[in-house]
Amino acid sequence: MKIVPLEAYLILSLLLFGLGVFGMIVRRNLVAVLMSTELALNAVNVAFVGADSHLGLVDGQIFALFIIALAAVEAAVGLGIIVAIFRLRKVESSDELTDMGG
Amino acid sequence: MMQWIAFLFFASMTLLSALGVVLLPNIIYVILSLLSTLVMVAGIFFVAGAELVGALQLLIYAVAIAVFYILVLTAVPWEKALKKDSHYRVEGVLTFPILLAFYLEIILVFLLGISVSPKGQIREFIQSLGNTQVVGSILFSKYFFAFELVSLVLLVGMIGAVIIGRKEDKTYEDSSP
């Protein structure tokens, strides 16, 4: 049952989270930044489920379900904010938001 | 052995698709890479024996959230973004080793905790019942209050998204002196 060791899950989670944070910093497009956030959330889910299969528990899977639900909320609110920003300011890149249009 | 092969396939495809999400310039290809990443992470959940989480990953993430992103991409005109010369903020690369060091520290702490924690008390209980039944019974007994709180957060997020995304009646232009 438990052939894949815990370290493999943790290394995959580390690499996926690093790529997510990297994308959050490097991308200019706001929607791409949100998608990189989804990558980081998935990395946390992989760590939870891998720890579960190592420990023989299911609590981490329940927290993974909570993270999936909260990721849906985050996508809804974030994309709503992006659409509102685009409608009000006509910008879609994250560097053009730094100036205050008083 | 079969499990190793499946895990290595899903893990390598996950990392490749995640690289596509981070590096591809066109936003349509980025969302296709994100979809591939989500499906491959669901495969990793199936390999780890978490059938319920894998199925919900496919249902919620790979269908609902991906369709939602595509809907927003069709609602916002991206021509200006596509003809921008650089899609990346190159100086952000400098912060990457620091973040990686922080996350390695988290992994080390996690491994220490794993090495001293007891394991496998309820594994026979899980294998006698099946994954979905165990997750459901613990979710609705031990984590019932947290489950209700998550549903409340979903409600608040839905109302907030509706209010934020609503069309304003030119209040920003009219209120300026």
Tokens of B40: 């491959």
CA-based nearest residue in chain A for residue B151: A69
Residues 51 through 90 of chain B touching chain A, CB cutoff 8 Å = 52-53, 56-57, 60-61, 64-65, 68-69, 72-73, 75-76, 78, 80-81, 84, 86-90
Most distant CA pair in chain B, distance: 72
- Given CB atoms, is A9 within the 8 Å cutoff of chain B? yes
Residues 105 through 124 of chain B touching chain A, CB cutoff 8 Å = 107, 110-111, 114, 117, 119-123
Q: What CATH architecture applies to the domain A28-90?
A: Orthogonal Bundle (1.10)
Query: CA of B9, closest CA in chain A: separation in Å?
Result: 12
Average pLDDT score over chain B: 80
Q: What CATH architecture applies to the domain B1-77?
A: Up-down Bundle (1.20)
Tokens of B106: 């988290």
Query: Is the CB of A38 less than 8 angstroms away from the CB of B64?
Result: no
Using a CB-CB distance cutoff of 8 angstroms, which residues of chain A are in contact with residue B76? Answer: 31, 82-83, 86, 92
Calculate mean pLDDT across residues B13-24: 90
Backbone angles phi and psi of A89, in degrees to 5: -110, -15
Query: CA of A99, closest CA in chain B: separation in Å?
Result: 17
**Nearest-5° Cα angle at A57, A3 to B134:** 110
Calculate mean pLDDT across residues B38-54: 90
* B29-43, B62-76, B140-154, range with the lowest pLDDT: B62-76
Domain boundaries, chain B: 1-77, 122-165
Task: Of B60, B62, B76, give the one whose Cα is nearest residue B32.
Answer: B62
Residues 21 through 80 of chain A touching chain B, CB cutoff 8 Å = 21-23, 25-29, 31-32, 34-36, 38-39, 42, 45-47, 49-59, 61-62, 64-66, 68-77, 79-80
Domain boundaries, chain A: 28-90
**Rounded Cα distance, A52 and A48, in Å:** 6
**Rounded Cα distance, B52 and B41, in Å:** 13
The ipTM of this complex is 0.87
Both ends of chain B: CA-CA distance in Å?
Answer: 72
B77 three-class SS:
coil
Asked if residues B73 and A84 have their Cβ atoms less than 8 Å apart, the reply is no
* Neighbouring-strand partners of residue A27: B88
Backbone angles phi and psi of A29, in degrees to 5: -70, 135
Q: Angle A59-89/B144-164 helices, nearest 10 degrees?
A: 10
Query: CA of A78, closest CA in chain B: separation in Å?
Result: 8
Task: Of A35, A7, A8, A9, give the one whose Cα is nearest residue A22.
Answer: A35
pLDDT of chain A, 102 residues: tens digit per residue: 557 788 788 889 888 988 888 888 888 788 888 899 999 999 999 989 988 887 777 888 899 999 999 999 999 898 888 888 877 776 666 666 666 555
A56 three-class SS:
coil
Higher confidence at residue B152 or residue A82?
Answer: B152
